[in-house]
Structure formats: structure tokens, C-alpha cells
């Protein structure tokens, strides 16, 4: 993260959508190096999901991007078979996800828009995951989102996401990935307060680990279970 200030720009989400629409391919190439981290935490999520659910599970992925490898892995999983709702702000990312996941369209629903505006019935989900996506919300919105995720999950439901280890109300990089149109926004409470935010929403924390997986940032990975 860079350029820490404290004011969230008013048009932040429109700018973020525009950036991801433009830099989607470059981001997707850049982030392949992080797949080992994705699989480390996705596998922990899947092993807990296996003990929680019988044959079928419903999972929501926040900021699913182009759908590889996370959404694809969820859709290819058996025991349980997973129905996935993939949400993303970027239409370009979702177009790529539609292409990348065309074999699984019967169990996949893609929803474009801001994750904070999702309309999900209470206690309807077995799991919610977000890889490098919740960090794009202003941190006060992260707190509200985590409370919503708790409402959407069934008792015992799982939540997996990463949060900024560094505390920053606002971090902006105008040319992320050296892209002239790569304007980016992130925010976070920092590791300790993010874990507390998840606990305060009513979750039991199963995994709480810090990784230094991106050159300039450390992340807190949380896997949590909604208390029965």
C-alpha cells in the first residue's frame, strides 16, 4: 500500500471499477505468483466445509475476479458439490470469469456490483470467501460487511478472507502495477483489530495467520466459523 491519507474519495468505487476493467489482464498475470497462497487457505476452507455439509454447499465469492483459480476450484470440488455465486465490481473481470468457467455454468451465478450492496437471504450460505477483495472497501464498510456475512451464513458456516496487516484508513496508489490507469484504493484496521472485528461479529476464529506474499504488503488471513 502507498500514499496513506485519511479521506475516501467520493467516486472511489467507480474509479476502482474503471481501473480493474482496464488492468484486468495485467493484474491476472501479475497475481499468478500468489496461487500457492490462495491454495493454502482455500484448502483449509474446503477441508472444514467437508466436515460441515453433506452433499451440496452454497458458497459466495466476493471479488471473484476472473474466476481462476479460486472459483474454478470451488466448482470442480466434490464432497460437497458446490454452488457458487461470484460477485465482482468489474465487468471485464466477470466477462473473463464467464469464459474461464463456461463448463460449470449450471452451478455458477455471476453478480456484477459492489459487494456491500448484495441482497442475500439470511442463513442461506455455507461459506463466504474473499481473496484480496474485502481490502478494497473503506474499513468502516468492512466492519458492516462482516456483520452481513455473519447474517448470510448458516450456523457453522465458514468465512475466509484476507485483511491488511498494516493499519491504514486510506491507501491510494495512482499507478498500481506501473499502469497509468491503475488507480487503486485499499483500507484496513490492521491485523489485530481486523481479527477482533471478525470475532465481534459472532465468529469463532479457526485460522489467524500473517503472510508476506506481496512485495510491499503483509496480509492477515482469517478463516472463521459462525458460532452455532
Ligand X SMILES: C[S@@+](CC[C@H](N)C(=O)[O-])C[C@H]1O[C@@H](n2cnc3c(N)ncnc32)[C@H](O)[C@@H]1O
Residue numbers at the binding site for ligand X (CB under 6 A):
13, 16, 20, 31, 63-65, 70, 87-90, 93, 114-115, 131-133, 136-137
Closest contact distance (angstroms) between CB of 83 and ligand X is 18
Closest contact distance (angstroms) between CB of 113 and ligand X is 7
Question: Which residue lies nearer to ligand X by CB, 23 or 197?
Answer: 23
Closest to 69 in 3D by CA, of 127, 28, 103:
28
Helix, strand, or coil (residue 90): coil
Cα–Cα distance measured from residue 226 to residue 222, given in angstroms and rounded to the nearest whole number? 13
Closest contact distance (angstroms) between CB of 21 and ligand X is 8
Question: Which residue lies nearer to ligand X by CB, 65 or 188?
Answer: 65
Closest to 52 in 3D by CA, of 160, 196, 197:
160
Cα–Cα distance measured from residue 150 to residue 227, given in angstroms and rounded to the nearest whole number? 9
Question: Which residue lies nearer to ligand X by CB, 113 or 156?
Answer: 113
Closest contact distance (angstroms) between CB of 152 and ligand X is 15
Question: Which residue lies nearer to ligand X by CB, 21 or 167?
Answer: 21
Let me know the angle formed at the C-alpha of 114 by 106 and 150, rounded to the nearest 5 degrees. Answer: 80
Question: Which residue lies nearer to ligand X by CB, 140 or 204?
Answer: 140
Class of residue 18 by CB neighbours under 10 A (exposed 0-12, middle 13-18, buried 19+): middle
Which residues contact residue 104 at a Cβ distance below 8 angstroms, ignoring those fewer than 6 apart?
72, 75, 76, 84
Class of residue 33 by CB neighbours under 10 A (exposed 0-12, middle 13-18, buried 19+): exposed
Closest contact distance (angstroms) between CB of 162 and ligand X is 9
Amino acid at each position: 500500500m502507498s500514499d496513506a491519507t485519511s479521506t475516501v474519495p467520493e467516486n472511489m468505487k467507480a474509479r476502482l471499477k474503471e481501473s480493474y476493467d482496464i488492468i484486468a489482464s495485467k493484474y491476472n498475470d501479475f497475481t499468478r505468483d500468489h496461487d500457492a497462497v490462495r491454495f493454502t487457505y482455500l484448502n483449509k476452507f474446503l477441508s472444514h466445509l467437508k466436515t460441515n455439509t453433506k452433499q451440496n454447499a452454497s458458497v459466495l465469492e466476493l471479488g471473484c475476479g476472473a474466476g481462476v483459480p479460486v472459483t474454478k476450484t470451488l466448482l470442480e470440488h466434490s464432497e460437497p458439490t458446490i454452488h457458487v455465486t461470484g460477485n465482482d465490481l468489474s465487468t471485464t473481470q466477470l466477462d473473463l470469469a464467464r469464459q474461464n468457467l463456461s463448463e460449470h455454468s449450471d452451478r455458477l451465478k455471476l453478480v456484477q456490483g459492489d459487494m456491500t450492496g448484495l441482497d442475500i437471504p439470511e442463513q442461506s450460505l455455507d461459506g463466504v470467501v474473499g481473496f484480496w477483495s474485502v481490502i478494497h472497501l473503506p474499513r468502516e464498510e468492512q466492519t458492516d460487511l462482516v456483520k452481513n456475512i455473519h447474517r448470510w451464513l448458516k450456523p457453522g458456516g465458514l468465512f475466509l478472507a484476507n485483511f491488511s496487516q498494516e493499519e491504514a484508513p486510506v491507501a491510494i496508489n495512482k499507478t498500481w502495477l506501473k499502469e497509468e490507469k491503475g488507480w487503486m484504493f485499499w483500507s484496513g484496521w490492521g491485523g489485530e483489530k481486523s481479527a477482533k472485528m471478525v470475532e465481534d461479529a459472532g465468529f469463532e476464529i479457526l485460522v489467524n495467520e500473517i503472510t508476506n506474499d506481496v512485495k510491499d504488503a503483509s496480509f492477515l488471513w482469517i478463516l472463521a466459523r459462525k458460532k452455532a
